[in-house]
Amino acid sequence: MSGLNLYTYFRSSAAYRVRIALNLKGLDYHPHFVHLLKDGGEQHHDAYHELNPQDLIPALVTDDGATLTQSLAIIEYLDETYPEPALLPASTTARAFVRSLALMVCCDIHPLNNLRVKAYLEGVMNSSDDEYLAWYQHWISEGLGALENRLNSQQHNSPYCYGDTPSIADLCLIPQLYNAKRFDSDIRLYPTLGKINTNCMELEAFIKAAPENQPDRE
């Protein structure tokens, strides 16, 4: 199918990031729904595995047929290909700061708390529900606490993570906060992050990308 084709699941934080980017850029896309829990996980079925041998969501198939994977790589691609509005600031130091915030979520919180890790802890290591919840909340607390401190240490005074417009950092933060709330984390502990969340969730691009507004929501 021509145009941009996004392989997505309503609750996937990584797909949620890319949906926000596409919406901010004003780009239409064809969604393809990959259910992460049905039939042993549709991401493991041949149709998707051939597209992305890592069996992870999202993937974006571009206009010219290239299959892009890994949400941050997809978002950087979109920002390079469709520069307006920019998702990274202009100065190299500010870009590094914004990218570091995004990576604090994408490397140091999300991979520890996603479905495949939950399946391993419960299925192989026989973790109880309580043990899993404690694990989940430990990494949320470490990660969101560090993000809050990192922003505050920079005398944070923006409506968003950096500057006056949403950046890659906000695209990663908002889905992570949504996810944290699902697992009963108290995000009132992070007032700066909470303020950014409120500001982002007033924007159409973020609202339209939210899990509850996806056609495949349950």
- The minimum distance between CB 68 and a second copy, in angstroms, equals 5
Quick count: other Cβ atoms within 10 Å of Cβ 43?
24
Q: Which is nearer to a second copy, 100 or 198 (CB)?
A: 100
168-182 vs 13-24: helix crossing angle, rounded to 10 = 140
Quote the tokens at residue 209.
């990308």
Q: For 130-157, give one letter per residue: b (16+ CB within 10 A) or e.
A: eebeebbbebbbebbeebbebbeeeebe
Tell which positions 57-96 bind a second copy, by CB under 8 A: 62, 64, 66, 68-70, 72-74, 76-77, 80-81, 92-93, 95-96
- The minimum distance between CB 39 and a second copy, in angstroms, equals 20
Q: Which is nearer to a second copy, 69 or 158 (CB)?
A: 69
Of the residues 30, 149, 186, 212, which one makes contact with a second copy according to CB under 8 A: 149
Q: How many helices (H) and strands (E) does the chain have?
A: 9, 4
Q: Does residue number 172 form part of the binding site for a second copy (CB under 8 A)?
A: no
How far from chain centre, in Å, is Cα 181?
A: 14
The number of residues that bind a second copy (CB under 8 A) is: 48
Which x/- pattern over 93-132 shows residues binding a second copy (rule: CB under 8 A)?
x-xxx-xx-xxx-xxx-xxx---xx--x---xx-x---x-
**C-beta separation of 214 from 8 below 8 A:** yes
Q: What is the CA radius of gyration of the chain?
A: 17
- The minimum distance between CB 100 and a second copy, in angstroms, equals 4
Of the residues 37, 47, 134, 189, which one makes contact with a second copy according to CB under 8 A: 134
Tell which positions 24-53 bind a second copy, by CB under 8 A: 53
Q: For 82-103, give one letter per residue: b (16+ CB within 10 A) or e.
A: beeebbbbeeeeebebbbebbe
Tell me: cis bond preceding 85? Omega within 30 of 0 counts.
yes
Binding site for a second copy (CB under 8 A): 53-56, 62, 64, 66, 68-70, 72-74, 76-77, 80-81, 92-93, 95-97, 99-100, 102-104, 106-108, 110-112, 116-117, 120, 124-125, 127, 131, 134-135, 138, 142, 146, 149-150, 153
